[in-house]
Amino acid sequence: MKKVIFVLLFAAISGMTFAQKAETLVKTGMTVPDFEVKMFDGQTIQMKDLRGKVVLLNFWATWCPDCIRELARVQTDIIDRFQGKNFVFLPISRQDSYEKIKAFREKRGHTFPMGMDPDRKIYAQFATAIIPRNFIIDRDGKILYAGEGDDETSFQKLILEIEKALKTPASLKSE
């Protein structure tokens, strides 16, 4: 009995510690951190080069059930929906190797571009824990939305925020 209580107490304390450490490091209104990501196809994308476009930055992993569910919907509900608009979907796999991503893509049939962050250096600029994690970045490089997890409400909010960002003109800056 004491062992069961100890295990439950340990789990509760560990859970509280984890919850306290799971933090979003960038907030809405902030400028997105600049980073360079190697894509699955070997190309490299630098975040600053995406200025002028609305970007959905998505952190995911091959082992994450919520990520798998979310990515299954992305092609039809987001990529196809915003095709031809000034929009980029930039999914970045957190801590997966090229081989794991390759096997994942083949098994799931994904053909859209995917970035790789095997050492979590990019992810560490955005959050401390929890995936999937989504950030919508406006044409000026400002974070409009930061969310985590996968549920229907969150997914619909992503779509609405992308639509709203695409309708909002880029700010006119004097140089």
Domains with residue ranges and CATH for the chain: 23-167 (3.40.30.10)
Spatial CA neighbour of 166 closest among 31, 56, 72: 56
Cα distance between residue 87 and residue 78, in whole Å: 10
Cα distance between residue 45 and residue 67, in whole Å: 22
- Residue type at position 168: T
- What pLDDT band is residue 163 in, cutting at 50, 70 and 90? very high
pTM metric for this prediction: 0.84
* Residue 175 predicted with pLDDT over 80: no
Share of the chain above pLDDT 90, in %: 78
**Mind listing the pLDDT tens digit for each residue in 77-96?**
999 999 999 999 999 999 99
Query: Mean of the pLDDT values across residues 152-162?
Result: 93
Residue 151 confidence (pLDDT): 87
* Residue 64 predicted with pLDDT over 50: yes
Q: Report the SS3 class of residue 94.
A: strand
What integer best gives the mean pLDDT of the chain?
Answer: 87
- What pLDDT band is residue 7 in, cutting at 50, 70 and 90? very low
